[in-house]
Amino acid sequence: MKIIMLGAPGAGKGTQAKKLAEKYAIPHISTGDIFRANIKNGTALGMKAKSYMAQGQLVPDDVTIGMLLNRISEADCANGYVLDGFPRTIPQADSLTSALLERGGQIDYAVNVDVPDERIVARMAGRRACPECSTIYHIEFNPPQQEGLCDACKQSLVLRDDDKPDTVGKRLKVYHNQTQPLIEYYRNENILVTVDGTKNMNEVFADITKVLEA
Ligand code: AMP
């Protein structure tokens, strides 16, 4: 199964992507995580991405598309994957569609996790990330077992630069201008599934799997 997650930054699509990947035993591919790992390791790709990310801007398509298409060519993607954070622009979506067509495949579902902007801003301020394994927590809605520490690696959790309120405002603007048009794009392809992302994370997950398994 090949799934795309759509939704504003902070809508909870990463959390749902992780749960879907576990349930269907397919890789969870987050372009944001790939960029962050490259920044951490000081690679050339990380250098290119860093300033765009810190400002809440998108990393240019010419960097992002090649990276993602390489990733989905790897052996673990043979039975499908959940894409989290890609595509974010129409050219990215077009490149993905053509690359899959060439291989005789297509995306099965584009899952849109719908949350209004006001809720997003409140949610992002409470988000905390593990700098080691990238797991995302929320101080109120999804707290770690021990305050401030990752459940898995026990590292101190941080508020990511791009989750700080100023940057969130910019990211929402970028989302509405560049990424939201993809909802129409996938509606036209008849693979759009929209769920109410304001519900709690288990309810959202149940709503998604109900449609995927119908
Ligand atoms: P995320 O973790 O998905 O919220 O992504 C964090 C940041 O990484 C974004 O704000 C962008 O700067 C960059 N990024 C992630 N995915 C993409 C993409 N598909 N296209 C361009 N930039 C991206």
59 CA from centroid of ligand 1 (Å) = 7
SS3 50: helix
Token reading at 126: 């409470």
Tell me the whole-structure pTM to 2 decimals.
Answer: 0.90
* DSSP category for residue 27: -
DSSP letter string, 104-132: T----EEEEEE--HHHHHHHHHTEEE-TT
CB of 58 sitting under 6 A from ligand 1: yes
Confidence (pLDDT) at 130: 94
Q: What one-character-per-residue DSSP string does 123-192 give?
A: HHHTEEE-TTT--EEETTTB--SSTTB-TTT-PBPB--GGGSHHHHHHHHHHIIIIITHHHHHHHHTT-E
pLDDT score of 67: 95
Ligand 1 contact via 53 beta carbon (within 6 Å): yes
The rounded Å distance from CA 57 to ligand 1 centre is 8
Confirm or reject: Cβ of 9 under 6 Å from ligand 1. Answer: yes
The confidence score (pLDDT) of residue 8 equals: 95
**C-alpha–C-alpha distance, residues 151 and 143, integer Å:** 10
**What is the set of active-site residues?**
13, 88, 127, 160, 171
Taking the CA of residue 174 as reference, the ligand 1 atom at the shortest distance is 10
Cβ burial of 29 (10 Å; 0-12, 13-18, 19+) is buried
Q: What is the pLDDT of residue 161?
A: 83
Q: Per-domain residue ranges for the chain? A: 2-26+79-212
Q: Which CATH fold topology does 2-26+79-212 show?
A: Rossmann fold (3.40.50)
Percent of the chain with pLDDT over 70: 100
pLDDT of residue 10: 87
Give the per-residue pLDDT at 121. 85
Q: What's the pLDDT at 44?
A: 95
- How far is ligand 1, taken at its centre, from the CA of residue 26, in Å? 21
Which contiguous run of DSSP H or E holds residue 90? Answer: helix 90-102
With a cut of 50, list the residues of the chain below it in pLDDT. none
Ligand 1 binding pocket includes 52 (Cβ within 6 Å) = yes
pLDDT at 50: 94
> Could you count the other beta carbons within 10 Å of the beta carbon of residue 57?
16
- Residue 18: in which H helix or E strand, if any? helix 13-24
Q: Does residue 127's CB lie within 6 angstroms of at least one atom of ligand 1?
A: no
